[in-house]
Structure 1
Amino acid sequence: MMGRGDGPGAGAAGGPTRHVPVLLEEVCTALDVKRGGVFMDGTFGAGGYTRAILDANPRNTVIAIDRDPDAIAGGAALASRVKRRLSLVPGRFGNLDGIAHAQGMDGVDGVVLDIGVSSMQLDEAERGFSFRSDGPLDMRMERDGPSAADLVNEASEAELADIFYHYGEERRARAVARAIIEARRRQPFETTRQLAELVASLIRQEPGGIHPATRVFQGLRIAVNDELGELVRALHAAERILKPGGRLVVVTFHSLEDRIVKQFFAARTGRTPSGSRHMPSAAMAEPTFEAVTRGPVGPSDQEIARNPRARSAKLRAGARTDVPAQEPLSAITMLAELPQTAEKRGGRR
């Protein structure tokens, strides 16, 4: 399963792996943490980025967000140790500007987003993210709302096929969806092993390749947690809350996420028109960001050797200009949606 450093062949949903912050030095450099200021860590996880930001300058403070209640609970000791320098907030990073305002901040100096699922979530079978360790078919980061089992047992064949194909990039999406519909008529899906074994019976594993269920599980996880939609909302929220000169740093782990971040920065730095054929008036908008990185920054060979889950990571960053925040980009909003939803929003149906 890809996300938060889980690349093919990297033990993506295998045995326990201590969560290691990916591209830590590169993130701190891109954020320019030594200058001091207020920073937001939109994906607190095990607190790796937050600790590094706090250690870089005694004047730094961090508002750390996580939608996983376990991550918030796990950060209590750090918050107690650094006292007023760290605020731990349960919530979604798509609302990071609202969270900043609730903390009394009109603007912040940096935002970092580490997209996807954490190693800790993958390694806990009871969370239902792993196809290698049997557990309830859950995948909910917040432990609330419809689960992966609900989706698998209730969604139509067409919807499941779209999820597997567009969010999981699984070429045999239709065959898997069809098999699920047939299987659930006999017995509902309740565990990760049930689903993984069904997928493995349909898709042959290539020698040295990823587990046959990798892409199906990825697609389900993204759909259950609306991960791409949250990313789109977070990019625009960061644009609204960053001060002029403030940095936005985003670490992604697969092409779906990176495509959204790449297009956002391309439009907001003026490298491509910021509108679409549905929003032509936005084409001449002034840049709201200046590029900090030229293209994606990847991990070194040394980091990959230490942490194989880092191999697919890409970092992109921009610095906020003094141009007011613009309306959300419809083009990247549509990238986060399944085709039928995007077509309806675009008025093509």
Structure 2
Amino acid sequence: MGQHPQHPVDGVQGAPAGARHVPVLLPRVAELLAPALAGRPAVLVDATLGLGGHAAALLAEHPQLTLVGLDRDQQALAVAGRRLVAFADRTHLVHAVYDRIADVLADLDIVRVDGVLFDLGVSSLQLDADERGFAYSRDAELDMRMDPTTGPTAADVLNTYPVADLARILREYGEERFAGRIAAAVVRRRASAPWARSGELVDLLYAVVPAASRRTGGHPAKRTFQALRIEVNGELEALRTALPAALDALGAGGRIVVLSYHSLEDRIVKRELAERARSRTPVDLPVELPGHGAALRLLTRGGEPATPEEIADNPRAASVRLRAAERIGDAA
């Protein structure tokens, strides 16, 4: 899964040295959301607040905007809170996974929102903190939890899952060709010593994944680390729940923008938006049945990539795909 590619901004306390804070595609995100937010009291849900880069720009651009910011990472919420202190009277920052959007809005007595933003993937805060274990380029504890206060770690997965389950995760979430071979090697290795460090896993992957595949598939650990992170954080299940809830909360003219960083995420987003952009009236009827028309109008043609200039400035932007849609009529 991709990261939140960002540019350096001074003065954000609590972020790791070298953390980057202005998210990828910010001008495009702002352009797509502006018609739903501009010139009136509006509510935006930033479902993946991260370090608050999108939120800060949108709050500054729209002085009547109220932000509901969610993040499962309490460290990220603290950093974002300091960054957004000038807008504190217009923000609600909530420690929650984005699949709790409906509950969060109900707790705030918000029935309809005007915009929703998902910037999926690993935040720079998480990637740049060595102790979190997300980056295969640095040896660390095998943690990978976006919320380090709860749930099993990547080490727990490697040390307890049966070989068949490990292979399935690597195949489905990492799209790893050598899933069976890697899973078997992981289980053999843990019989003599439990998994604890990312460097140990990288060494095993170098030994197991054929060298020839690296010429086209990149680093041999990339797909396995992606698969473990998705499993540890339940990312795809959360997205499948969060997207319908977010779309149901949009009022008439409300807009949603989603940034995905790998094909598994993008496929879920594409399917959900396309389904709601389709009429449910039988094709052989000459008129639209009441309540059966399309609920969304798609605002992008396919998944929009970052520009070559942006990718050159920050290679982490290379995998991003943006999709956006607008609600037609009022929410059901």
TM-score for both structures, normalised by structure 1: 0.83
Aligned partners of 2:22 and 2:111: how far apart in 1? 32
Q: Which amino acid aligns with 1:168?
A: G
Q: Aligned equivalents of 2:19 and 2:216: distance in 1?
A: 20
Correspondence 1:90-239 to 2 at 5 A: 90-143=95-148, 144-205=150-211, 206-207=214-215, 210-239=218-247
Task: Summarize deviations over 1:20-75 as a string: whole Å, max 9, x none.
Answer: 40111111111124344110101111111101110111111111110001101112
Paired with 1:217 and 1:54, the residues of 2 have a C-alpha distance of: 35
Provide the rounded CA distance (Å) in 2 between the counterparts of 1:180 and 1:16. 33
d(CA) in 1 for partners of 2:299, 2:328: 12
Aligned counterparts of 2:132 and 2:301: Cα–Cα separation in 1: 37
Which secondary structure does the structure 1 equivalent of 2:83 belong to? helix
- Of 241, 261, 264, 1:256 maps to 264
- Note the alpha carbon deviations across 1:253-300, whole angstroms, 9 max, x for none: 111111111111111100799xxxxxxxxxx95322111222222211
Indicate the residue corresponding to 1:347 in structure 2. none
Contact 2:5–2:20 at 8 Å: present in 1 too? no
CA distance, structure 2, for counterparts of residue 295 and residue 62 of structure 1? 28
- Aligned counterparts of 2:191 and 2:268: Cα–Cα separation in 1: 37
8 Å CA contact retained: 1:121, 1:127: yes
User: What residue ranges of structure 2 are gaps of 5+ in the alignment?
Assistant: 7-16, 282-290
SS at match of 2:134: coil
Partner of 1:306: 313
**Whole-Å Cα distance in 1 between the matches of residues 310 and 83 of structure 2?**
25
Cα RMSD after superposing both structures: 2.1
Select which of 238, 259, 278 maps to 1:270.
278
- Aligned equivalent of 2:62: 57
Is the 1:286–1:323 contact (alpha carbons within 8 Å) kept by the matching residues of 2? no
Which residue of the other structure, out of 25, 49, 60, is the alignment partner of 1:23? 25
Whether the 8 Å contact between 1:96 and 1:238 is mirrored in structure 2 is yes
Change in 2 beyond 3 A, CA 1:85/1:315? same
Tell me the matched-pair count: 307
**CA displacement at 1:244 relative to structure 2:** 1.2
Provide the TM-score with structure 2 as the length reference. Answer: 0.87
- Give, in angstroms, the shift of residue 78 of structure 1: 3.0
Segments of 5+ residues of structure 1 without an aligned counterpart are: 7-14, 274-283, 326-349
Name 2:300's counterpart in structure 1: 293
Aligned to 1:86: 91
**What CA deviation, in whole Å up to 9, does each residue of 1:138-193 have, x standing for no partner?**
01111111111111100010000010011001100000000001000000001111
1:54 and 1:170 map into 2 onto residues whose CA distance is: 41
Percent identity over paired residues? 40
Is this contact kept in 2: 1:19–1:120, CA < 8 A? Answer: no
Cα 1:19–1:83 shift into 2, 3 Å: closer
DSSP-derived class of the 1:134 partner: coil
Q: Aligned runs of 1:63-82 on 2, under 5 Å?
A: 63-82=68-87
Moved more, 102-111 or 183-192: 102-111
8 Å CA contact retained: 1:5, 1:312: no
